[in-house]
Amino acid sequence: MLSSGRRSGVSPQNTRSPVKGGRVGAPGRGEVSLGIVSPAPRSSLPVDPRPPALDRPTTAPIPFLDGAALSALGITAADAVAAIERVIRQRAAGTAQSAAKAVMLPPDGRYLMAALAATDEPPLLVTKSVVLNPRNPARRLPQVDGVVTVLDAERGTPVMLLDAKWITAVRTAALSLTAARHLARADSAVIAFAGCGVQARSHLAAFAAVTDLAAPWHRASFAALDRVVIDDLAQEAAMPNKLLAPEVVAGDLSGLVLGELPGRGGAGERTAFVFRGHALGDLALAVLACERAGLVRSGASDD
């Protein structure tokens, strides 16, 4: 019982939550009672003094946030950029980690991908599993679908499941926007998209919310640019098929955010940000969604 007022990171006063029936909707629309927590089994191991990330009973249903519920959290493009820069700085400080994405390519044309990242502030482990199947549209299903799983990184307790389509769309645009803050000309006013799918729409929404900008893809053309930046040097080194010739890559997004790689050098400099997608971006958006949903304590700081 919660007789002492706090146990396992759960507050008896914190009985309002956007969680209802295992699904999360707009904040304030549903309620869940946090009245009783089962006592933990006795152990000879020392007690971990750090508070858990989880802000709900471990016996409660695992909430799932679909795209509508995630949109209802009110996460802006500026919020997403700030979250990405936060986890980049955490990784530089040794309090966040990410692994190169793992990919399988079955002979039937599917693309199977998994990404993994974790942070200590708050202690969360985030994995994203995605399937791209070109036959899905004929089934009236999204061509790309999957789920983001969030665990308490200290205890392994499930915290939340998130729609991977929404997380991927928003984080990809936010990665581009983060790079543009360092590489774009101050007077840039044009953005172009090759295609009009999910990524084009998410990029348009993100850039329209913050500034005005991008460039079409042609692999050979990158040699004519002054500087090309990718999302993560370590991940690119682990990939068998390189995005670009290594000699044209000046650095990565972490270098820009941490100030180790200079941003735009002048109005006439031609720059590009080319990337595969980064697990740190998935981590940033997943943590932000969990914080906004009120299921974990915020790891944000003022520094």
Q: Is residue 211 one of the residues assigned to a domain?
A: yes
Distance (Å, whole) CA 164 – CA 282: 9
Query: 152 in a domain, yes or no?
Result: no
Is the pLDDT assigned to residue 241 strictly greater than 80? no
Checking DSSP bridges between strand 19-20 and strand 23-24, what pairing results, if any? antiparallel
The pLDDT, as a whole number, for residue 223 is 66
Kindly tell me if the per-residue pLDDT of 149 is higher than 90.
yes
Identify whether 83 is part of a domain: no
Q: Residue 26: inside a domain, yes or no?
A: no
Q: Is residue 183 part of a domain?
A: yes
46 falls within a domain: no
156: left (phi over 0), alpha (psi -120 to 50) or beta: left
Number of domains in the chain: 1
Residue 76 inside a domain? The answer is no
Asked whether residue 32 is assigned to any structural domain, the reply reads no
3-state SS, residue 57? coil
Q: State yes or no: pLDDT of 25 exceeds 70.
A: no
Mean pLDDT over each residue of the chain, to the nearest integer = 76
* Contact of 283 with 123, CB cutoff 8 Å: no
Domain residues for the domain of 240 are 173-277
Using 50, 70 and 90 to split pLDDT, how confident is the model at 107?
A: very high
